[in-house]
C-alpha cells in the first residue's frame, strides 16, 4: 500500500502531553524483589544454560542430528539475548544454515532459523523459513503464529495484527506473556498508564523459577518509563532486573543510560565499561563517549567515538539489516547527516514500522528537509499510533 502524501504537516496540538508517572508504580512489590518472589540464583541459571549448551554441542559435533541442531541454535540465541555476545548468534546461524540444508523436512529447524532471521531483520527470508516450518505438522501453529505477529509488527503491518494490539486495554487475559504483549502495544498507543498496569499484572501471573522472564519484564517497564523521560523511575526497574540477572546486558546498559541522565557519571561509567567488555557493542561505546564528554574528558570521548565508528563499520559489514538503524542513530547523534540519511533510507527499505519512519523523519528534521520529515510524520499519524518519540518530534517540529 502506498504511503499517503501529506497535504499538511501534523500539528503539535495532535500530541498529548508526555505521560505523568502512573500511580501503579506506587504499588508494593512493583518491581518485586527476589526476597518477595524468589527465582533461581543467576549463577546457577547461567551455569545450567552454559552446561546444556556444552552438552548438546558435544553431542551435535558427533552426529549432527536435527533435534540437537535446533536445540543448540535456540539456546545459543537465548544466551545471546541475555549476554549480548554476537559470537553466540553467529554460531547459531551457522548451525541453522547447515542443519536446514542437511534436514530440509525438519520444521523445528526452519522455525528456529526463522526466529534468527527475524531477530537480525532479514524478514523476507524469515517468512520463507516460517513457511517451510509450517509444512511440518509437528510444529506448534501457535508458536509459528506468534513469530508471524512479531514479523508483522516489525514491518509495520499494523492492519494485520490481532485486536489485542489495537485495543490493548480490552479484556486483558490472565497470562504472563499475553499481558506483556498488551503492555507493549499500549506503549505504541501512547498509553503509559495502561502499559504500566499491564506489566504489573503480568508480574502477578509469573509462577516459574527462571529469573530471565522477570528481569525481561522489569526491563520492559523501565524502557517504557525511559522513553517518556522518567529516568529515576526507570532506573529502579533496570536495577531490579540487573539484581535478578546481573548478566542481562539490556537491563545494565539502560541502567547506565538513566544514571548518566541523572548525573551519576561514575556509577554509569562502571556499568558501561562492564557491558562494553562483555559485548564490544558500539552503541555502548558511543554512550560512554557521550558520558566522557559530559564529564569533561574530551580526549577520551574522542577516542571512544572513533572506536565506536570502527566497530559500527565491522557490524554493518556483517549484519547490515540488523544494525543499520542503530548506526543511523549514531551518525545522526554525531552530526554526520549524510551517512545517517543513507542508513535510515536503507533501514526503511527493510522495514516500515513507526520507529523506522520516525528515525527517517528525525534525520530529515536535522537536515532541514521539512517536507520529508512531514511525509514520514503523516505516515506515522495514519497508523493511529502515538509512541512517545512521535510526540517528541512533533514538538520539536513546531519550534
Which ranges of the chain would DSSP assign to H, the alpha helix?
42-63, 66-83, 86-102, 107-119, 123-134, 141-155, 163-166, 176-188, 192-204, 212-227, 231-244, 249-261, 265-279, 282-294, 298-318, 320-333, 337-350, 354-367, 370-383, 388-397
pLDDT in the model for residue 18 = 65
pLDDT-flagged residues of the chain (< 70): 1-18, 399
Angle between helices 320-333 and 337-350 (to 10 degrees): 150
How do residues 237-288 score in pLDDT, each as one tens digit?
Answer: 999 999 999 999 999 999 999 999 999 999 999 999 999 999 999 999 999 9
pLDDT in the model for residue 229 = 94
Residue 111 CA to residue 96 CA, distance in Å, equals 10
DSSP state of 263: T
Residue 64, phi-psi category: left (phi > 0), alpha (psi -120 to 50), beta (remainder)? left
Nine-digit cell string for 364:
530529515
Answer whether 323's CB lies under 8 Å from 313's CB.
no
In b/e form, how buried is each residue of 6-30, taking b as 16+ CB within 10 angstroms? beebbeeeebeeebeebebbeeeeb
How do residues 27-85 score in pLDDT, each as one tens digit?
Answer: 999 999 999 999 999 999 999 999 999 999 999 998 889 999 999 999 999 999 999 99
Residue 332 CA to residue 286 CA, distance in Å, equals 12
Residue 154 CA to residue 156 CA, distance in Å, equals 6
Amino acid at each position: 500500500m502506498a504511503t499517503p502524501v501529506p497535504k499538511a504537516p501534523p500539528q503539535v496540538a495532535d500530541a498529548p502531553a508526555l505521560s505523568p508517572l502512573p500511580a501503579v508504580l506506587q504499588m508494593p512489590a512493583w518491581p518485586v524483589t527476589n526476597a518477595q518472589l524468589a527465582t533461581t540464583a543467576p549463577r546457577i541459571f547461567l551455569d545450567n544454560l552454559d552446561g546444556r549448551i556444552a552438552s548438546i554441542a558435544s553431542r551435535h559435533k558427533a552426529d549432527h542430528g536435527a533435534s540437537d541442531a535446533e536445540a543448540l541454535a535456540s539456546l545459543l540465541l537465548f544466551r545471546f539475548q541475555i549476554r549480548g555476545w554476537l559470537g553466540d548468534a553467529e554460531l547459531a546461524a551457522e548451525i541453522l544454515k547447515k542443519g536446514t540444508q542437511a534436514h530440509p523436512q525438519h520444521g523445528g529447524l526452519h522455525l528456529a532459523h526463522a526466529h534468527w532471521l527475524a531477530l537480525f531483520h532479514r524478514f523476507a527470508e524469515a517468512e520463507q523459513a516460517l513457511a517451510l516450518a509450517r509444512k511440518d505438522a509437528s510444529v506448534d501453529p501457535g508458536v509459528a503464529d506468534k513469530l508471524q505477529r512479531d514479523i508483522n509488527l516489525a514491518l509495520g503491518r499494523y492492519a494485520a495484527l490481532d485486536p489485542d494490539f489495537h485495543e490493548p486495554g480490552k479484556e486483558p487475559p490472565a497470562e504472563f506473556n499475553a499481558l506483556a504483549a498488551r503492555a507493549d502495544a499500549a506503549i505504541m498507543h501512547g498509553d503509559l498508564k495502561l502499559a504500566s498496569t499491564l506489566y504489573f499484572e503480568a508480574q502477578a501471573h509469573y509462577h516459574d523459577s527462571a529469573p530471565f522472564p522477570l528481569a525481561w519484564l522489569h526491563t520492559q517497564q523501565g524502557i517504557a518509563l525511559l522513553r517518556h523521560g522518567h529516568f529515576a523511575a526507570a532506573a529502579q526497574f533496570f536495577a531490579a532486573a540487573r539484581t535478578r540477572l546481573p548478566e542481562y546486558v539490556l537491563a545494565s546498559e539502560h541502567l547506565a543510560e538513566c544514571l548518566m541522565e541523572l548525573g551519576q557519571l561514575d556509577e554509569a561509567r562502571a556499568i558501561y565499561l562492564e557491558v562494553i567488555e562483555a559485548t564490544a557493542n558500539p552503541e555502548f561505546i558511543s554512550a560512554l563517549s557521550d558520558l566522557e564528554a559530559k564529564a569533561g574528558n574530551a580526549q577520551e570521548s574522542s577516542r571512544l567515538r572513533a572506536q565506536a565508528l570502527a566497530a559500527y563499520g565491522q557490524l554493518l559489514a556483517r549484519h547490515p539489516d540488523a544494525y543499520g538503524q542503530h548506526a543511523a542513530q549514531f551518525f545522526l547523534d554525531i552530526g554526520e547527516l549524510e551517512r545517517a540519511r543513507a542508513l535510515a533510507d536503507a533501514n526503511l527499505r527493510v522495514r516500515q514500522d513507526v520507529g523506522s519512519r520516525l528515525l527517517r523523519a528525525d534525520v530529515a528534521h536535522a537536515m532541514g528537509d521539512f517536507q520529508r520529515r512531514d511525509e514520514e510524520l503523516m505516515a506515522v499519524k495514519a497508523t493511529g499510533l502515538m509512541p512517545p518519540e512521535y510526540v517528541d518530534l512533533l514538538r520539536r517540529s513546531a519550534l
